[in-house]
Chains A and B, each alone.
Chain A
């Protein structure tokens, strides 16, 4: 790892000021960035420790929902009784991340801001499009884990497990920057590569995520997160789905279906949701939702398997969410 200067700001304003300078990066739990620095992928001259900021490590319940500080660990989210009960998809997503050791240290802010796992991107000796090079190696190379839905020119899948769950639950993120703070719906936080090739989200240099706000689910809401991976002892999703259903008796009144592992952003499928709203949740409607979720898919050479897989994952997640509905 290349030597760097280490900063421990005490206020968000100081952190923002430090991070506005070139060659500076933020570290929270370090579970992503330290590996990338050791591999020589990133070589910041200054590292700003967000963990020295006070007040960003709590989960607060308010009358309108949850406020989760950016430094809250994934373990704390996975174990939180209220999250487990009322925001189940989020607890299940956090629990599906990596290993217990990583979850004990990794933060929710870091989970949302982590960089893609594309193996060409992660190889410091490969200069691909996303890193300013002139080609995407995934197009003609080994793209088994890449996106089946992307406008191009990059085909990463967003690696975060928590993001699909939070988007499905309608979360917003608070962002602090040089010009003050702003709040963005998490759905609009992430950006497709045709809008933003070098990054994955709307953060400008110097900006940090300080808080995630999740609205209180309406009565009759039940959610789940389902992740399929090649192996169970830590692995990234081949495909995952967060499903939030608001039920009234047998009938689904509102639905959100957000997929992981299929696109450069968590993929919010309105067409899948449409198959469910106003109808009872049955194997037929769940299957239709699964089919609808992948109707836009244009797989690459080696990842067509993700199409039936995504359809199956959505179907199952819908059925599982419906089964868990509490009145």
Chain B
């Protein structure tokens, strides 16, 4: 038997939102995407295939699932940040007409406001809500702490019994102390911080569960249908093969929708108890309290460069809080290589919900801290911030992107000296960068099926978070078979289709696209074998394009797609594909430039323009990549100017568990955004859903500094902070 060729590659993997770089051994099978210039679909602007369904309301989201006899589930949540549950009396709820199931065995101690205490299923949402009010819970309130600053104090109440503070192991390379002591360096020290931010998915978390005997079907709003399946099976003690999970469309997850989560298990249990299907969708307040958030981080930073602008040393001590669970670590120093580094990070437990991965976990925080420090140091060095980056960033793609971005934003218009803009309303420009893996991994098992009547179907148990997965799955097959994209039916979002991993860490495209390409190639090979015999041509000479199969270089005879498929037996063609490492790449680069106006009398910042540049290797769908850039910039702007989770130390409650005081930008707050997809001729596909969110806030913060000459050290940049920095308060 010939030995299969293998090779080792570096790629990123994501487990429940934690993204790691790993080296793996993979089969080395020759395959290539080909020249993008010759492609009809890939790399072009392809409107998403389900777009019309979405805008007309035909698309069925989890909330739209209606089943005969379906009940509605609701969860009773703790009003206390920390309490022991002495007793739960649900007898009155149980007796309320219309109540079909009650669960009270969820926990004996609650550790944050919003933690699950009990649940009911009833014939309507209203009856379910009324039933919750009838559940009598006797709480014994316990001491609590909701901010990391207070939780750090030795006398603070303990969240889990042990120390609130963990971590703090130094990570060190080089000789940090002597680097800072060198006589030819300029040193800058400051503290920067980013608050905790909620995901605010447009569609809340939730699912519909239906039992069929000992089998469970769950419709879920999720980033991972297979991870929901596995978690449900594990929690319910049934085989994974008894659980089917469906997610046809979903309205955003951003890292908060990986597993079944507690509401998923509760929903399945309620459905079992009630003997009827149950729909359990969370409300906005529950979304804010109990579905995760990106942790806040504060970092005390010391950074040094030689007088000619070469980064030489970095030291940081940082802390953050993942609440009752979940880490808060961030990658520091970020992006720009520093030879001498010492970092220390502390995780601090607080009585707030557990943090979760949030679009590029840790990176936007690291970006704001690093890029602010970079600009402050550049200012001290008397150096142009862009020149400082060009000098310290070895990445050739970003080098090109910086130059392109500088031209698009008009970098020459920046204030040479920060704060020297004239007038009451001051303009400024800023820049910051992004880095990401974007590689994929093995496991996806797509099936491509061609029927004798010419119909084509591709099936895969992946899911479309709104990033456009379904569209490129169809486009890859259409490209390979020379068809119109409308001739390919892409079926995804069901665990009855072949396995595919969860969508996180921007790994979906680089995991799914190569496997789909391989399946399409295999299907094409089978079809060509049949057609070449019929046309008496060499298989290598058969070209598939424009719905025809043509024998090139000889007879030039051709068959229409329909005629060709008619040659197939009844069984048609049905082939699977496997991931191929040669079709995917890892390591994408981006940068963003911001132009702002700061009103020095009101303190208000208006973002005038963002130029956002991002590479992702070979582009599959230009429209979808642009759309990811717009989305990332919007979230980044929200982080820069508006978002923060606020907790009250007196009551332990979240002050803004809504979308009124938890502020998000609307259309009037959005600037002109120029999204530039940087075509990086790697010939390989990489993911890019996360990186466009990374540098926006930092670029805006740096633009504000350029405008007013004052650093706002913590996000969000509110009028209050600007007026304070200007010495007006």
Q: Which A residues have a C-beta under 8 Å from some C-beta of B?
A: 1-3, 39, 99, 117, 119-120, 123, 125-126, 137, 140-142, 144, 228, 230-235, 238, 302-305, 307-309, 312-313, 315-316
Contact = CB atoms under 8 A, between A and B. Distances in A.
B728 interface: yes
A230 B664 CA distance: 10
Contact of A141 (B126, B129, B650): B650
A238 B661 CA distance: 12
B648 A141 contact: yes
A305 B668 contact: no
Given A142-B648, A144-B720, A232-B669, A305 B603 contact: yes
B648 A137 contact: yes
A308 B729 contact: yes
Interface in B549-606: 601-604
B668 A233 contact: yes
A230 B656 CA distance: 15
Contacts of B656: 119
18 contacts: A1-B126, A119-B661, A123-B651, A123-B653, A125-B79, A126-B651, A137-B648, A142-B646, A142-B648, A231-B665, A231-B666, A233-B667, A233-B668, A305-B719, A305-B724, A305-B729, A308-B723, A313-B602
Given A142-B655, A309-B719, A231 B79 contact: no
Contact of A230 (B129, B642, B651): B642
Nearest to A311: B601
Interface of B: 79, 126, 129-130, 133, 285, 601-604, 641-642, 646, 648-651, 653, 655-656, 660-661, 663, 665-669, 718-720, 723-724, 728-729
Nearest to B605: A230
B147 to A, nearest CB: 11
A126 B130 CA distance: 20
A308 B602 CA distance: 8
Contacts of A305: 603, 719-720, 723-724, 728-729
Q: Which of B126, B602, B604, B641 has the most CB of A within 10 A?
A: B602
The 4 A-B residue pairs with the shortest CB-CB distance, nearest first, are A233-B666, A312-B601, A305-B720, A232-B668
Given A144-B720, A305-B719, A231 B669 contact: yes
B667 to A, nearest CB: 6
B652 to A, nearest CB: 10
A99 B723 CA distance: 27
A233 B665 contact: yes
Contacts of A120: 648, 651, 655
B236 to A, nearest CB: 32
A305 B720 CA distance: 5
Given A120-B655, A309-B719, 19 more contacts: A1-B129, A3-B126, A99-B666, A123-B655, A125-B79, A228-B719, A230-B604, A231-B641, A231-B666, A233-B667, A238-B719, A302-B720, A303-B720, A304-B729, A305-B723, A308-B723, A308-B728, A308-B729, A312-B602
Contact of B718 (A137, A230, A313): A230
Nearest to B80: A125
A16 B297 CA distance: 55
A1 B653 CA distance: 21
Nearest to A228: B602
A235 B666 CA distance: 10
A144 B666 CA distance: 22
Contact of B601 (A137, A233, A303, A316): A316
Contacts of B653: 123, 125-126
Given A119-B656, A230-B719, A140 B650 contact: yes
B124 to A, nearest CB: 12
Contacts of B650: 137, 140-141
Nearest to A299: B729
Contacts of A1: 126, 129
Given A305-B719, A305-B723, A230 B79 contact: no
Contacts of A125: 79, 651, 653
Contact of A234 (B651, B666, B723): B666
A231 B663 contact: yes
Nearest to B646: A142
A256 B660 CA distance: 31
Contacts of B667: 233
A3 B130 CA distance: 9
A235 B719 contact: no
A228 to B, nearest CB: 5
A269 to B, nearest CB: 18
A239 to B, nearest CB: 8
Q: Which of B642, B656, B720, B723 has the most CB of A within 10 A?
A: B720
Contacts of B719: 228, 230, 238, 305, 309
A240 B23 CA distance: 58
Contacts of B603: 305, 309
A52 B110 CA distance: 47
Contacts of B718: 230
Nearest to A123: B653
Contacts of B665: 231, 233
Q: Which of A39, A123, A307 has the most CB of B within 10 A?
A: A123
A227 B724 CA distance: 20
Contacts of B651: 120, 123, 125-126, 137
A228 B613 CA distance: 33
A117 B663 CA distance: 14
Contacts of B126: 1, 3
Contacts of B79: 125
B64 to A, nearest CB: 22
A5 to B, nearest CB: 15
Contacts of A234: 666
Nearest to B727: A308
A121 B59 CA distance: 39
A119 B729 contact: no
Contacts of A303: 720
A20 B28 CA distance: 82
A103 to B, nearest CB: 14
Contacts of B601: 308, 312, 315-316
A40 to B, nearest CB: 9
A288 to B, nearest CB: 15
Contact of A307 (B129, B133, B661, B729): B729
Contacts of B646: 142
A232 B602 CA distance: 14
Nearest to A312: B601
B669 A309 contact: no
Nearest to B670: A233
Nearest to A139: B650
A1 B728 CA distance: 45
Q: Which of B79, B285, B728 has the most CB of A within 10 A?
A: B728
Contacts of B604: 228, 230
Nearest to A304: B729
Contacts of A231: 641-642, 663, 665-666, 668-669
A312 B599 CA distance: 11
Nearest to A313: B602
Given A141-B650, A142-B648, A119 B655 contact: yes
A3 B133 CA distance: 12
B670 to A, nearest CB: 9
Q: Which of A3, A142, A232, A305 has the most CB of B within 10 A?
A: A305
Contacts of B648: 120, 137, 141-142
A232 B126 CA distance: 35
A187 to B, nearest CB: 26
B729 A232 contact: no
A10 B310 CA distance: 79
A309 B719 CA distance: 9
Contacts of A313: 602
Contacts of B661: 117, 119
Given A231-B665, A232-B668, A233-B668, A141 B720 contact: no
A208 B33 CA distance: 72
